[in-house]
Amino acid sequence: MSEVFEGSFTQQDPIPREGIEAAIRVMESGRLHRYNVAEGEFSEAALLEQEFAELTGARYCVAVASGGSAMATALRAIGVRPGDKVLSNAFTLAPVPGAIASLGAVPVIVEVTEDLTIDLTDLETRIAASGARVLLLSHMRGHLCDMAALMTLCDRAGVTVIEDCAHTMGASWDGTASGRHGAMAAYSTQTYKHVNSGEGGFLTSDDEVLMARAILLSGSYMLFDRHLSKPAADVFEQVKYDTPNVSGRMDNLRAAILRPQLKTLQDQCDGWTERYREVESGLRDLAGLKVIERPEQERFVGSSIQFLLPGWRADQIRNLVARCLKRGVELKWFGAEEPAAFTSRYDSWHYANPEPMPKTDAVLAQLMDMRVPLTFSLQDCAQISRIIRSEVSALWQQG
């Protein structure tokens, strides 16, 4: 009888006891709003920002309501206006072009490679053709491009880089933490990311003017002195009359839940990658399936895994998804014509008016995606890879 996996692909680890107790204390105080503090006291949100800045090596950090809010705040802080063109990669999730479009700016979509990273040759071409001077770079599903090459290209062209690190919190390129290359970096703390507050996000930067704008944009009113990870007061004086309040603050309840999770982040990241490697090893050397090789310079976080099905027809892939699901394994296909759940293809973002992307189309047509929760054991991961392997083999032999 064919084995069936009985675990859940959407079950998370519980919130640490320390976080639960901190959240209870916040609720008992009733002071959920981040600026509702006693004299001489700093809020959970302010302490969280300080701790996340220290963790990443950034000078400044502001905690916000979501990863999408972090990206939109970064774009506003950098000065993106309605009608401006902003570059971004074709393989990403809808909140990335959505953050651009929310400002009335125009997304300029860039091709991706079979390594699932932005195509630097196409990026250079589109910079020249569009005149865009901002890149919102999505490290989609935790895949980092050659960041040294990308920054050299962008610096030479006068393009400011914002990193979307929703899937790379805890990752690094050639020893430099993800988020430390561009002018600003946005992170997510949504349930399926590397720390979990349901919704939430961070924005980091070393630039004092950009961060002063970001703190004001996040909804600080004139209470910016209640932040710990912030520029000096005179920097706020330069921008406070010209920066709108676009409220998107994180509250103390979510901050209390997150602070203990930062202490174990690296152990969590190592756990994800160990599980990723277990699944990957079970899928290697399989006819009809191609694993995506990770560069030596990349320290990635394997909270999801992707693989390619070169030469497969759409009907075969739909059949594979259905057969795996019947055996308890949830695969997503990025080549589907219609958006489903969290997954959408660049050409479904009609508001972006994207040009045809033949290279990206060829990649997405064969691209499979699967979550790897920490609630899986290594034995679970081995079983999952056996199920995928058996179904791929059966369908590939049928042709």
* 345: CB partners within 8 A, 6+ apart: 334, 335, 336, 337, 339, 364
Domains in the chain (CATH in brackets) are: 17-261 (3.40.640.10), 265-398 (3.90.1150.10)
> What contacts 188, CB < 8 A, 6 or more positions away?
66, 67, 70, 166, 200, 201
Q: Please name which of 379, 344, 303 lies closest in space to residue 90, comparing C-alpha atoms.
A: 344
The pLDDT of residue 345 is 86
Residue 339: per-residue pLDDT? 78
Length of the chain as a residue count: 399
In this prediction, residue 38 carries a pLDDT of 86
* Residue 303: per-residue pLDDT: 97
The whole-number pLDDT of residue 399 equals: 73
Residue 18 to residue 257: CA distance in whole angstroms: 8
Report the amino acid identity of residue 193: K
- Average pLDDT per block of 10 residues along the chain, 399 residues long: 90 95 96 92 97 98 98 98 97 95 97 97 98 98 98 98 98 98 98 96 98 98 96 97 96 98 97 98 97 97 97 96 97 87 84 91 96 97 98 91
pLDDT of residue 328: 97
Q: Tell me if 46 sits within 8 A of 228, measured CB to CB.
A: yes
Identify the pLDDT of residue 314: 95
Please give the structure tokens belonging to residue 56.
């990443």
Question: Rounded to whole angstroms, how far apart are CA atoms 299 and 277?
Answer: 13
The whole-angstrom separation of Cα 329 and Cα 321 is 8
CA distance 299 to 118: 18
